[in-house]
Amino acid sequence: MSQPVLEVDHLRKTYGDFVAVDDLTFRVQSGEIFGLLGPNGAGKTTTIRMIMDIFIPDAGTVSVLGATPRQARLRVGYLPEERGLYRDLKVKETLVYLAQLKGMDKDAATRSAEAWLDRVGLADWADKRVKDLSRGMQQKAQFASAVMHEPDLLILDEPFQGLDPVNVELVKTLMRELQAEGRTIVLSAHQMNLVEEMCDRILLINRGEGVLYGELAAIKRDYAPNAVRISGEEDVLTQLTRLEGVVDAEQNRDVLILRLGQTSPQAILAQIVELGLPIRSFEVESIPLNDIFVNVVSGVHPDGSEEGAEA
C-alpha cells in the first residue's frame, strides 16, 4: 500500500491547562476524502492548524506527504474555518497574490485564477473588490484560492457553511473532480448527510480524543440496528408482527419496522415468502451518521445503554 498522505501520531496540544487535542492518532490515505468530525470545541481546527504548521504540537508528530508540515506547505491547500480575503483588493488580484505565495509564478497564477473564477461562477466578478461580493461568493473565491496551486492534499474546514443548495452541489462536484484527479481531501463539516455522501473514511473527535475511526460503511454496519423496514397493505403488515424472531414492532399505517432478536433479516424475508404474503418493499434498516455522531458524543452505546452506566 502506498504511504499515507497524512500521518498523525499521538498528537497533543494544550492551551494553558486545557487539553484541546489529546493523544490523537490517524492516517489519511492517498486519494480519499477523509472526514474529520466532532462537536463544537472538539479540537478539529486545532488539529488542522498543527497539520498546517500554524501551531506547534506539545507532543506527537505530523507527517504530510512524507515530510514535515513546514516542508510540505506548498503542496497543501487550505480553506480555513475563519474566512477572510483582503476586502479592499480585487478578487482576481487577491487570488493571484495568494497563489504566488504558494509558489506559482505570476503568469501561471493568473491563468489558474481566471480558470477557477470561471469554474466557481465568478468570472464576471474578477475585477470587483472582495467586499462587494456576498458572503457565499467570497467563500467560493476562497475555495478557489485553496485549490488553484493544484495541491496534493486539500484541507477544507466547513466548506459548505453558508452556501445555498446550488453552491453546495457545486462544491461537492468540485471535490469529486479533485478526488478523480488523484488529490486527497480532508473534510471537516457538521452536515452529516454531506459527510455520508462524500467521505470514504472518518475520524470522530470528542473532547480532543479520537472516539470513532475507520471506513464509514463499516462503521455504519457496526452501528446499524438489527431491524427491517417493510411497506405494504396495513392488514398484511399487522400479520408480520407475529413472525418468529421479532422482538418489537412499530407500525405506522403502511410502513412496519420490525426489530429482531437473534434472527437475521434474511430469515424474516424467508418467512414472508414462505407464508406467501404480498409486500411492497423490504429493506434492512440502516442508521444515519447523524445518529451515530449524537450517540457516540453523548456516550450512548448502539444498544441504547449509557456508557459507564453500570459503573
Contact set with ligand ATP (CB under 6 A): 15, 18, 20, 38, 40-46, 81
Cell of 145: 484560492
Q: In this structure, how many other beta carbons lie within 10 angstroms of the beta carbon of residue 52?
A: 19
- Nearest CB to ligand ATP, comparing residues 38 and 151: 38
How far apart, in whole angstroms, are the C-alpha atoms of residue 269 and residue 272? 5
- CB of 36: closest distance to ligand ATP in angstroms? 9
* Alpha helix ranges (H) inside the chain: 44-51, 69-72, 91-101, 106-119, 135-147, 165-180, 192-198, 216-223, 234-240, 265-275, 289-297
- Nearest CB to ligand ATP, comparing residues 185 and 260: 185
- Nearest CB to ligand ATP, comparing residues 24 and 117: 24
- CB of 54: closest distance to ligand ATP in angstroms? 11
- Nearest CB to ligand ATP, comparing residues 20 and 260: 20
H or E, element range at 307: none
- CB of 133: closest distance to ligand ATP in angstroms? 23
- Which residue type is seen at 106? K
What is the distance, to the nearest Å, from the Cα of residue 229 to the centroid of all Cα atoms in its chain?
27
- CB of 279: closest distance to ligand ATP in angstroms? 43
- Nearest CB to ligand ATP, comparing residues 193 and 264: 193
Please give the torsion angle defined by the CA atoms of residues 307, 297, 179 and 94, in that order, rounded to the nearest 10 degrees.
-160
- CB of 235: closest distance to ligand ATP in angstroms? 49
- Between CA 48 and CA 54, with CA 53 as vertex, the angle to 5 degrees is 75
